[in-house]
Structure 1
Amino acid sequence: MNRNFWITALIAFVNSLSLTILIPIIYLYGKQFGLSDFQTSLLFSTYSIAQFFATPVIGKLSDRFGRKPLLIISLAGTVIANLIAGTASTAILLFFARFLDGITGGNMSVAQAVISDITSQKNRAQAFGIFGAAMGLGFVLGPAMSLLAQQLSLGAAFLASAGVAFVALLMTIFFLPETLQNKSKKSSNIFDLGLGNLVKGLFMPGVGILLLINFLIGTTFTMFTYAFQPYFLRVLQQNSQSLTLLFLSFGAVGVIMQTWGVSVMSKRFNVVKILFLGLFFRSLSFVLMPVWANINYFVIVSILFSIFNSLVQPMITTLISLNAKAEDQGTALGLNASYLSISNGIGPVIAGLIVHQSQPITYGYPLYLAGGLTFLVLAFAINNRQRYTPRNS
């Protein structure tokens, strides 16, 4: 791996740090503004739906104008949005901040396109594994920083996130060179910004089926991520500090799996089989989590979940990158991030509709549903594997 790869991985780490500072506190921060469970689910969805429409545009523009300028714009949006959220005085401002962060939030797909630009197909799975591990390291340190910021206020966590994103912005400006060698041709229609690709992408050979699979995976996963926090806080009777420490342990396990684990497994199994393994244990973990409302049992199942869950997205990203043409890497990875974003907007709403604040036991229902549906997605992925398995696998 060359210098540009490690710079990109470092930017991914810092950007992930900015994101994961927020994950443990968004639900609780929404509650401070008097939002109901369903309204907090919309807080999650506002960001994701905005990102759904923005990411293919950013991916398309990165293929046309280069990776660096679009990465700068995306990171600047995150800085401004989190400053607004951290100082918000009304729920309307908070929703606007989440929308702004989403509409400019294509930085991960652009960073992934950089990885595709600078790595060979042979080394791509390992590269995306290390890239995922850099993000996973953010999942270790982000919750720790969040824990410190929470001592001041929940809003301080947003301000800390803005500060960290600003560091990533400076690194991109001063240290990351442009990596796109062959820019796509400028469209004769200046309004051709890639939104049409949201439909066209589904018909891209080898890529379209993966976009659909990742959309389904993301929908079931975000049912879990929304219900996970209130289940931990209300059913298991834990506090926000314990929740943050659990997220920290998830990140630590993820880093190990995405560096050492992926390297070892890729020598024995191809990318598709590793994806299936990750999906199977993710499904099983979802179903097992709410079976027994005991904190020790929950932590054990959560560790099983974190070991295998960290394999899923790096393998999906690798498969999309291997199936996409060289000149379409930014577009394909932008579409992947976009479909993942809209799934992130749907999952929390589904979960929010089936839980009832007056009945804490209902916070386990989305976990059962997410597990059952993820098993169905796994079956669908296995049945269609010939449509996206690279020829050399």
Structure 2
Amino acid sequence: MENYEQAKDTVSRWCIVSMASIPLVMTLGNSMLIPVLPILERKVGITSFQSSMIITSYSVAAVFLIPVAGYLSDRFGRKMVILPSLILALIGGLIAGFASWKLSDPYTWIIIGRILQGIGAAGAMPIILPLVGDLYKDDDEKTSSCLGIIETSNTFGKVLSPILGSVFAAFIWFLPFFSIAIFSLVSIVLIFFFVKVPKEKDDPLKMKEFLRNTKSTFKEEGPWLFTIFLNGIFVMLVLFSILFFLSENLEKAHDIKGIKKGFVLAIPLLLLCIASFISGRNIKGNLATMKKIMIVSIIILSISTGFVGITSDMLILLLVVTSFVGISIGILLPVLDAIITENTKKEERGTISSFYSSARFIGVAAGPPIMSLVMNDYLNLSFITASGIGLILLLIVIKHIKVENIEN
């Protein structure tokens, strides 16, 4: 718990736990449903593509509203945006769960509940990144360390998700929806009591000034910012495509179902979580080191992704390949978080980090439906294409992530 010791002089342990609860809860709110999708298809009578929209509807809502939440958090305060957003996520979980329990044709109401959850996610999860920056001000090392904890909480949620989702669904198939509401309530209580946001000395920017400054930031810093955004889209697209594919493949090709499937799905995600924790502890705000880590991670991610389809019928090899995917993504995510948070002005941090979070949700939204459309006829081609895109992204990183330009 060295990271906690590094932070204790400015931020309490419970404050860090409270902030880390948000990515954990929001990740559970989405990823926990992935192993349950085949069950939903049978219980609700929907297609694979329709079940993928249960994930996508959550993410699409977040994509469009995250930048708005970022501005509001810069304008009115982080906590004033986070708490109402968590309440919306709670209500969305109740709607989806109640519809599944009581209605004979619940699909439309499930989607409505998921959209509300997505709106809640838009106002909660992305705001944590600038909040960490606010709490630690100009201490890049402590910021990186705390962001590592936050991203590890996110990835730990991904580890727990398939297990909890499978366990809950084994009792009652729609229980995962209700559990999301309960987890949101816990996070609301933690944030309300333990997160103390620093008081602002300066008046928040007016809309016109804010828009002018944001436009100027993208004009001056655009190349490296958009490079980070593209990385965020790509890694989440690959991750959620693979998770959706594995959930279907483990049942159809390997006859692994229920709680056992949840534990198998958790293997690459556990390695992702461990890699994220180690990465967050060791980057220490050093941009030159972070660029090297990005390059190595993208190379490993691109190569391993190309073999996912090829090994789809060989369970052990498939888990080895997807574990390499998980490790590379786990290393990369804290680096992306830190570069964004540490290298943007405080008054614009909420908005810029929100655009980055929105980019990540684009990948989450696109992954499952794309995979549902291509996995029957174009499985190998799709993963090889993704591998090629990763290598192109590598060239963009080498060209546009320039240490001297970003740090100045």
TM-score band, normalised by the shorter chain?
Answer: 0.7 to 0.9
Shift of 1:266: 5.5
Alignment counterpart, residue 144 of structure 1, candidates 163, 169, 177:
163
Alignment counterpart, residue 38 of structure 1, candidates 29, 44, 49:
49
Contact 2:32/2:162 (<8 A) preserved: yes
Q: Does 1:307 align with 2:324?
A: no
Q: Residue in 2 aligned with 1:355?
A: 375
CA distance in 2, matches of 1:228, 1:193: 43
CA distance in 2, matches of 1:329, 1:24: 35
Contact 2:75/2:204 (<8 A) preserved: yes
Alignment counterpart, residue 238 of structure 1, candidates 242, 250, 256:
256
Shift of 1:16: 3.8
CA distance in 1, matches of 2:307, 2:110: 34
Q: Does 1:66 align with 2:77?
A: yes
Question: Map of 1:255-274 to 2, 5 A cutoff?
Answer: 255-264=273-282, 270-274=289-293
Contact 2:274/2:330 (<8 A) preserved: no
Shift of 1:43: 3.0
Query: Can you list the C-alpha shifts for 1:40-95, whole angstroms capped at 9, x where unaligned?
Result: 33333222221111101111101111111211122111111111112223211111
CA distance in 2, matches of 1:97, 1:223: 23
Alignment counterpart, residue 100 of structure 1, candidates 116, 119, 124:
116
Structure 1 pair 16–346 and aligned structure 2 pair: CA distance change class (3 A): closer
Contact 1:63/1:180 (<8 A) preserved: no
Contact 2:22/2:125 (<8 A) preserved: no
CA distance in 2, matches of 1:238, 1:364: 22
Query: Can you list the C-alpha shifts for 1:133-185, whole angstroms capped at 9, x where unaligned?
Result: 12233333343332321222221011112211110011112222224635663
Structure 1 pair 35–57 and aligned structure 2 pair: CA distance change class (3 A): same
Structure 1 pair 377–257 and aligned structure 2 pair: CA distance change class (3 A): same
Shift of 1:388: 8.6
Q: Give the AA of the match of 1:52.
A: V
Q: Residue in 1 aligned with 2:133?
A: 116
Question: Map of 1:6-85 to 2, 5 A cutoff?
Answer: 6-26=17-37, 28-85=39-96
Structure 1 pair 299–349 and aligned structure 2 pair: CA distance change class (3 A): closer
CA distance in 2, matches of 1:285, 1:188: 45
- TM-score norm. by structure 2 comes to 0.83
Q: Residue in 1 aligned with 2:390?
A: 374
Contact 1:139/1:247 (<8 A) preserved: no
Query: Can you list the C-alpha shifts for 1:1-54, whole angstroms capped at 9, x where unaligned?
Result: 121334322444444444443332245424532222222333332222211111
- TM-score norm. by structure 1 comes to 0.86
Contact 2:141/2:284 (<8 A) preserved: no
Contact 1:82/1:97 (<8 A) preserved: yes
CA distance in 2, matches of 1:167, 1:187: 34
Shift of 1:340: 1.9
Q: Which runs of 5+ in 2 are unaligned?
A: 1-6
Matched pairs, number: 384
Structure 1 pair 155–363 and aligned structure 2 pair: CA distance change class (3 A): farther
Q: Give the AA of the match of 2:277.
A: T
Shift of 1:244: 1.2
Query: Can you list the C-alpha shifts for 1:174-207, whole angstroms capped at 9, x where unaligned?
Result: 2222246356635367xx998x97x887545143
Shift of 1:372: 2.6
Alignment counterpart, residue 173 of structure 1, candidates 177, 192, 215:
192
Question: Map of 1:173-252 to 2, 5 A cutoff?
Answer: 173-179=192-198, 181=200, 185-187=204-206, 202-203=218-219, 205=221, 206-252=224-270
Structure 1 pair 232–246 and aligned structure 2 pair: CA distance change class (3 A): same
Q: Give the AA of the match of 1:70.
A: V
Query: Can you list the C-alpha shifts for 1:226-264, whole angstroms capped at 9, x where unaligned?
Result: 333223332333224233113333343233223334434
Q: Residue in 1 aligned with 2:3?
A: none
Moved more, 55-64 or 228-237: 228-237
Question: Map of 1:276-315 to 2, 5 A cutoff?
Answer: 276-292=295-311, 293-315=313-335
Q: Give the AA of the match of 2:370.
A: I
Q: CA RMSD in A?
A: 3.0
